[in-house]
């Protein structure tokens, strides 16, 4: 009788299929709670990461320095990460972001992750939502995703390694009061991603959306009282909020060879919350 493998022994084939050695990833919103975790995780798998940010450069530079110091070696002198300022709602800045990543890391681009998003933290009902709030929300969340995906569809490698991972929200299904513009913008991202995956037939590029639930990040806590945050926890089947580190491995999987057969999907990574 053949001896069975130990259940805790690593599968070298599976491990290799998860690695991203030499691949170049662009992560928009790369300094947020989930964005930072995703940027670090992709780098830990071997990817070189262009961290896109807007506003104060300090968090981006700190993140990039952390990634580079963690993964630097004499045999790999090239930086593992760079920071690039880009407003994703501006087509020229999106193009410049892709150009900067290509120039820094050798030309080829493999992975796009779109995490840049805005939310009105006063959580107004639709009847009190201003046109400015609606335009800003759709400008970053929907238009920004559209512009980045359009660039990626024309720039990512077409050898079976191209990956587009957009970000929606489980709020699309939960229908919480005060999230009408935000949830609608994320619903647009879901539909856009599914159609894009079909339009990319024959290119070897996959496109999927990740839809986190309530995640312990600055974006979640902003504008909420302790009591309001506690209600979200009370509703969670696993008894806690998600952590950014709960989301990042799913992105790594979708970006890797192991995730090549997942396409045109919305993956609700939320611990079972609706």
What DSSP state is assigned to residue 2? P
Contact 96, 155 (CB under 8 A): no
Domains of the chain in sequence order = 18-71+78-267 (3.40.50.720)
What are the pLDDT digits (tens) for 101-156?
999 999 999 999 999 999 999 999 999 999 999 999 999 999 999 999 999 999 99
- List C-alpha distances in Å: 1 to 4, 9, 57: 9, 19, 61
Average pLDDT for 248-270: 97
The size of the chain, in residues, is 274
pLDDT score recorded for residue 10: 56
Residues forming the active site: 182
More confident residue, 48 or 4: 48
Q: Are 32 and 119 in contact (CB under 8 A)?
A: no
pTM over 0.75: yes
Collapsing DSSP states into helix, strand and coil, what is residue 151?
A: helix
Say if CB 176 and CB 188 are below 8 A apart: no
The pLDDT value recorded for residue 3 is 46
Residue 206 to residue 243: CA distance in whole angstroms: 26
Task: Specify the 3-state DSSP secondary structure of 11.
Answer: coil
pLDDT at 31: 96
pLDDT at 2 over 50: no
Take residue 193 and report the two structure tokens written for it.
Answer: 């991603």
What mean pLDDT comes out for the span 181-191? Answer: 98
How does pLDDT run across 155-166, given as a tens digit for each residue?
999 999 999 999
Per-residue pLDDT of 76-109, as tens digits, reads 668 999 999 999 999 999 999 999 999 999 999 9
Joined together, the tokens standing for residue 228 give 């309001």
Q: Which range is least confidently modeled, 10-19, 65-74, 147-156?
A: 10-19
Calculate the average pLDDT of the chain: 93
Burial 198-226 (b: 16+ CB within 10 A, else e): eebeeeebbbbbbbbbbbbbebbeeeeee
- pLDDT of 184 > 90? The answer is yes
CA distance 104 to 272: 40
């Amino acid at each position: 009788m053949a001896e069975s493998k130990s259940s805790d022994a690593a599968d070298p084939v599976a491990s290799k299929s998860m690695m991203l050695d030499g691949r170049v990833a662009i992560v928009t919103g790369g300094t947020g709670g989930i964005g930072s975790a995703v940027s670090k995780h992709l780098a830990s798998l071997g990817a070189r990461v262009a961290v896109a940010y807007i506003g104060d450069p300090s968090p981006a530079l700190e993140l990039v320095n952390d990634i580079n110091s963690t993964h630097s070696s004499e045999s790999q002198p090239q930086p593992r990460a760079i920071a690039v300022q880009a407003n994703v709602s501006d087509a020229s800045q999106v193009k410049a972001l892709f150009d900067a990543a290509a120039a820094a890391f050798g030309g080829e681009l493999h992975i796009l992750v779109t995490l840049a998003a805005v939310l009105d933290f006063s959580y107004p009902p639709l009847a009190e939502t201003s046109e400015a709030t609606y335009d800003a929300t759709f400008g970053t969340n929907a238009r920004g995703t559209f512009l980045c995906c359009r660039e990626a569809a024309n720039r990512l490698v077409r050898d079976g390694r191209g990956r587009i991972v957009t970000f929606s929200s489980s709020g699309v299904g939960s229908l919480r009061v005060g999230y009408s513009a935000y949830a609608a913008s994320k619903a647009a991202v879901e539909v856009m991603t599914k159609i894009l995956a079909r339009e990319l037939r024959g290119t070897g590029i996959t496109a999927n959306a990740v839809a986190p639930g309530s995640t312990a990040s600055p974006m979640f806590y902003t504008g909420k009282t302790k009591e309001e945050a506690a209600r979200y926890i009370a509703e969670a089947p696993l008894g806690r909020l998600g952590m950014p580190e709960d989301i990042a491995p799913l992105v790594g999987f979708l970006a890797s060879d192991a995730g090549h057969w997942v396409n045109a999907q919305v993956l609700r990574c939320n611990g079972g919350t609706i």
